[in-house]
Amino acid sequence: MLRISQLFIYPVKSLGGIALDKALVTDRGFQYDRRWMLVDHNNRFISQRDVHQMALLKPALTDKGIKITHSVKQSSCTIPFDAVKNEFAEVTIWDDTCRGQFVGNEADEWFSSMLEIPCRLVFMPDDTYRITDQRYTSEDSITSFSDAYPFLLIGQSSLDDLNSKLAEVLPMSRFRPNIVFTGGEPYQEDAMHTFIIGDIIFYGVKLCARCVMTTIDQENGLAGKEPLKTLARYRLKDKKIMFGQNLAHNGLGEIKIGDELQIIKLNYQDRFLVGV
C-alpha cells in the first residue's frame, strides 16, 4: 500500500521548504507553494542554481505571514500573506512570462542585504493564471512560480535506492518534492499515470529533469558533485537526469500524511529499469 509520508511547500521559489502534516490543494498547487519569487533588475527569476546562499533562507508559517530567517546571520523578515504594494510587472520564469505584484520596499531591502545582490520580491495574485506546458497537461492546468508544474512526487524507496549507491546519504530536501510516499518499489512514481488521494485526482505528466540544485547542501549552501554524478549512470534519458514525477491534478481539498495513494492507471512507456 502506498501512503503519504511527507508533505512540503516552498513559499518563496528556490528558498528552503516547510514540512507539513497536511496541505490544502488549490487550483495551482499547495496553498502558499511558490506564490512568491525573487527577481533581478530585468524581473527575471533568481534561483539557487546561481545564488547558492538562497538555501540559507528558511521559511516558517506564522499568523501574520511567511517568516524568512537567514540561518547564519540570524536575521528575519516576515512577508504578509497578501502583497500591499500596488505595483505590478511582467515577470519571467524560464520561458514563461506572467503578471506579478511587488511585495514592498522593506522585503526588497532585506533580501538584497541577505543575499548581497540587488533583488525584489514578487507575489502571484489570484488573478494571474500561468498555464502549464500543454504538451503534457490539460488546457486548464495552471501552476504558481514553480519551474513548470503544480506538484513533484517522489517515492521514499527511490531515495533509499539512490542512497545505497552513494558514499554519503542525502536527505529528501535535496530534491524539493511536494509529496513523498512510502511503499512500493524504487522509482514506482515513474509509471504512475493516474492516482487518487482522497477526492483529488493526480496525473503523472512528465519525469522531472534534475539540475545542479540537487548538488547544493541545503544546510550550508555549498555545492558538490552528488547526486548528479551517480544518477547520470542509470537515470539518464534524452541527455537529462531524471528523478521524481511532475504532477497535474483535478480537484481541490486537503490531503495529509498517512493518506493512501490509490493507483488508477500505470504507464510503463517512459519508465526506467529498476536496480541498474
Quick one: CA dihedral 209, 262, 132, 18, positive or negative? negative
Which residue type does 79 have? I
> 123 - beta bridge partners?
36, 101
Co-location of 245 and 146 in the same domain? yes
Co-location of 103 and 162 in the same domain? no
Classify residue 275: in a domain, yes or no.
no
Q: Which residues contact 3 (CB under 8 A, 6 or more apart)?
A: 181, 182, 183, 258, 259, 260, 261
pLDDT in the model for residue 275: 39
Co-location of 123 and 136 in the same domain? no
pLDDT in the model for residue 271: 60
pLDDT in the model for residue 83: 75
Co-location of 190 and 75 in the same domain? no
Q: Which domain holds residue 137?
A: 2-25+132-266
Classify residue 218: in a domain, yes or no.
yes
pTM score, whole prediction: 0.96
Classify residue 197: in a domain, yes or no.
yes
Q: Which residue has the cell 512528465?
A: 206
pLDDT tens profile 211-222 = 999 999 999 999
Co-location of 126 and 252 in the same domain? no
> 30 - beta bridge partners?
25
pLDDT in the model for residue 82: 84
Looking at 62, 95, 130, which one is the last position of a domain? 130
Round to whole Å and give the CA distance between 194 and 162: 25
pLDDT in the model for residue 272: 58
Round to whole Å and give the CA distance between 162 and 219: 20
- Quote the distance between the C-alpha of residue 223 and its chain's center: 19
CATH number of the domain that residue 257 is part of: 2.40.33.20
Co-location of 161 and 209 in the same domain? yes
Co-location of 138 and 172 in the same domain? yes
Classify residue 18: in a domain, yes or no.
yes
> pLDDT under 50 in the chain at which residues?
273-276
Classify residue 95: in a domain, yes or no.
yes
Looking at 130, 148, 182, which one is the last position of a domain? 130
Looking at 130, 165, 197, which one is the last position of a domain? 130
270: exposed, middle or buried (C-beta count within 10 Å: 0-12, 13-18, 19+)?
middle
Classify residue 272: in a domain, yes or no.
no
- CB 126 within 8 Å of CB 32: no
Using the CB atoms, write b or e for 112-135: b if 16+ within 10 Å.
eebbeeebbbbbbeeebebebbee
Co-location of 115 and 166 in the same domain? no
Co-location of 94 and 124 in the same domain? yes
Domain count, the chain: 2
Classify residue 274: in a domain, yes or no.
no
